[in-house]
A and B are shown apart, each in its own frame.
Chain A
């Protein structure tokens, strides 16, 4: 008799722990042939608020790490993913094996790209400013805080990684909502985050329904910025909700085609969008 395989219960990675939704709600996820993959947590507003709290708690420590150390940890995450390419490829079903392997490889490369930025972005983003007076005047970048990431439906691993990496490389922490139709890659990614030296709470991943969770992304005052992909109606609601706390909103239009594999989907501009600039005036004198 063939051995019966052990199925894995899908759990989301929040605050460094693997949780089911506090509500106990799930939705079934099936592969292309209609076989059950698992019951994925249908996270709630409360889960989102808990995740924001975890991200806020992890923020100062992560921001205080040296840039070198953050780069090392992103590189370690890439190593973890590379080693589990097969498992992640399966999680990208119904993509073909070849397409899935390509997406995993691109995700690893994206992390390597940002790992290398960690201790260089300041040199490209900051400046020393020649002011007309006896002052040493310089501008540095700082993380914004907790960033809400809203992943698109497509490229459930690559798009998610492309949105998370430029946020955390500068010291932000993230609460991310995974692709609604294809959330399984985010479940597996969570397991790799957990084994990558990334402190718990720096990246928090939620699965669930956009229509249930986006209103809380729009209203939660502790989310200092929103980054991701949304359709016209969602963008209007998210931007309107952001007025209360003067939140930074960096949303791409879901209506526009986007090549997540392209070189233009990564780089310094994405890091720049999620930092604050601080200018210090220091007198020059005896």
Chain B
């Protein structure tokens, strides 16, 4: 699979700095994170403030994608369990929604603090269950999840400031939330925090492969003494998710996941009057102009696509490089790729961890094979992958055409497709030539060009000279087939209330 970098005649003419590949010079000692994730052997559903087994007693196994070993047995919720969860949430709604905002806010502050208190434990659990490098779960996922609760806690008693002109701000009722496996705890926070701050109660379904941190978070809900039924967690796969979406008591469905499932949810909720927000797939363009600071840009491009193994809906998976610098950029990228460390997610030196599931790994392999077959040039650095577990080396494709499937379809893996452009207009046209519109990146030294691009790009988030930055105060969400609704900021609150 790994192959040597292709050296074209033009590549050789570019001035070469001495190559320093740390991984080749020194062996790294393993540096595993050893904090105890405090996982239980068995997890039940969390309904009405209690952990309860599924009515039919069914369970499924959650595995560690880094070594394919079983981590825990998780209860599998069916329709009757989902109905129990909705009933509990509906019972909890009147009191919770009438609670003074300041009091609701204090519960959210508690959740934030308790999560911070147990941050390392949650980081290790997240990495074990999902395969992401410990550095990311420790420095990004968990602190950002806590930040979301902190941010929204403060809104609970200030909702009238969020909606100018609105006289009455009312919650919707019981909200069904279905979240993905790429940022399990963070997506939970994105969903729960605004829903609770505005006075809704929740039935939450985590992704099948990453249920554990949501169930651990239910322990925090108990520690915080959140009133029973305000948040209910039902675990399972697609069938459970469909039951959450279909339940007649849901006033709103909030979903993050693939565009295909988003379509199914739109069809399933058509005519029911349920409110809907969808945060779906993406195929973001990361546009690199020839005046960009290249060192910084290359780091940004690497972070844009290899962050979280590329399991990021807003990943910068299409790199558009201005033609005059493409050789230099590709040379720098291939060099940088060789120093990415792929392997044990628990190792603090790991840059690229495990692919979340065997199914996802198969999908990545399938699309990469299509890329090769359609004529794009593949580069993968020489790197040894662990013998067990799901891994994929960081991958670049050059010579990609807009019609190639690897330039059109979301791969959701560590695979970057590189295209070129000559003019600003061409860059805009190519960037917008996609059904998606979640995010985009622009790398240039010219301020007016950034604002021009930011205006013209059909995407909900535009990163200028940076990439994959998130904040609870910053609204996030897509245009076109990347979904609708925003999460974060004042704008995210609007999707959880009715105004009059």
Select B464's contact among A131, A238, A276, A280, beta carbons within 8 Å.
A280
Given contacts A131-B473, A281-B462, contact A246 B267 (CB under 8 A): no
**Chain B hits for A283, CB < 8 A:** 464-466
Given contacts A236-B270, A240-B271, A246-B484, contact A129 B462 (CB under 8 A): no
**Chain A hits for B454, CB < 8 A:** 278, 280
Please tell me if the beta carbons of B271 and A235 are within 8 angstroms of each other in the complex: yes
**Chain B hits for A131, CB < 8 A:** 469, 471, 473-474
Select A280's contact among B266, B462, B479, beta carbons within 8 Å.
B462
**Chain B hits for A66, CB < 8 A:** none
A243 CB within 8 Å of chain B = yes
- Considering only CB atoms, which chain A residue lies closest to B499 in the complex? A269
B351 CB within 8 Å of chain A = no
Given contacts A129-B471, A277-B475, contact A282 B460 (CB under 8 A): no
| Distance in angstroms between the alpha carbons of A170 and B263 in the assembled complex | 27
Please tell me if the beta carbons of A279 and B266 are within 8 angstroms of each other in the complex: no
Give the distance to chain A from B301, nearest Cβ to Cβ, in Å.
16
| Distance in angstroms between the alpha carbons of A232 and B477 in the assembled complex | 29
Please tell me if the beta carbons of B266 and A278 are within 8 angstroms of each other in the complex: no
Select B266's contact among A235, A243, A253, beta carbons within 8 Å.
A243
**Chain A hits for B18, CB < 8 A:** none
Please tell me if the beta carbons of B469 and A133 are within 8 angstroms of each other in the complex: yes
**Chain B hits for A97, CB < 8 A:** none
Please tell me if the beta carbons of A277 and B491 are within 8 angstroms of each other in the complex: yes
B191 CB within 8 Å of chain A = no
Q: Chain B: interface residue count, which band?
A: 35 or more
| Distance in angstroms between the alpha carbons of A162 and B262 in the assembled complex | 31
A27 CB within 8 Å of chain B = no
| Distance in angstroms between the alpha carbons of A127 and B491 in the assembled complex | 9
Select B267's contact among A130, A240, A245, beta carbons within 8 Å.
A240
Give the distance to chain B from A225, nearest Cβ to Cβ, in Å.
9
Q: Which of A156-195 contact B (CB under 8 A)?
A: none
| Distance in angstroms between the alpha carbons of A137 and B489 in the assembled complex | 11
Given contacts A244-B263, A245-B481, A276-B460, contact A139 B491 (CB under 8 A): yes
- Considering only CB atoms, which chain A residue lies closest to B262 in the complex? A246
B278 CB within 8 Å of chain A = yes
Give the distance to chain B from A1, nearest Cβ to Cβ, in Å.
59
Q: Interface residue count for A (Cβ, 8 Å)? A: 39
**Chain B hits for A264, CB < 8 A:** 500
Give the distance to chain A from B150, nearest Cβ to Cβ, in Å.
10
**Chain A hits for B389, CB < 8 A:** none
Given contacts A139-B489, A239-B269, A240-B267, contact A129 B473 (CB under 8 A): yes
Please tell me if the beta carbons of A243 and B463 are within 8 angstroms of each other in the complex: no
B165 CB within 8 Å of chain A = yes
| Distance in angstroms between the alpha carbons of A245 and B278 in the assembled complex | 13
Please tell me if the beta carbons of A240 and B463 are within 8 angstroms of each other in the complex: no
Please tell me if the beta carbons of A243 and B263 are within 8 angstroms of each other in the complex: yes
| Distance in angstroms between the alpha carbons of A235 and B266 in the assembled complex | 12
List, sorted by A's number, 26 A–B pairs whose CB atoms are closer than 8 Å. A127-B489, A127-B490, A129-B471, A129-B475, A133-B471, A139-B489, A235-B270, A235-B271, A237-B270, A243-B264, A243-B267, A246-B483, A276-B460, A277-B477, A277-B486, A278-B454, A278-B459, A279-B461, A279-B462, A279-B474, A280-B461, A280-B464, A281-B461, A281-B463, A281-B474, A282-B465
Residues in chain B within 8 A of chain A (CB atoms):
147, 164-166, 259, 262-264, 266-267, 269-271, 273, 278, 280, 450, 454, 459-466, 469, 471, 473-477, 479-484, 486, 489-491, 494, 499-500
17 A-B pairs besides A243-B270, A246-B483 with CB distance below 8 A are A131-B469, A132-B147, A132-B471, A137-B473, A137-B474, A235-B270, A236-B270, A237-B270, A239-B271, A243-B267, A246-B278, A269-B499, A272-B494, A277-B460, A277-B475, A277-B486, A281-B474
Residues in chain A within 8 A of chain B (CB atoms):
124, 127, 129-133, 135, 137, 139, 224, 232-233, 235-240, 242-246, 248, 253, 264, 267-269, 272, 276-283
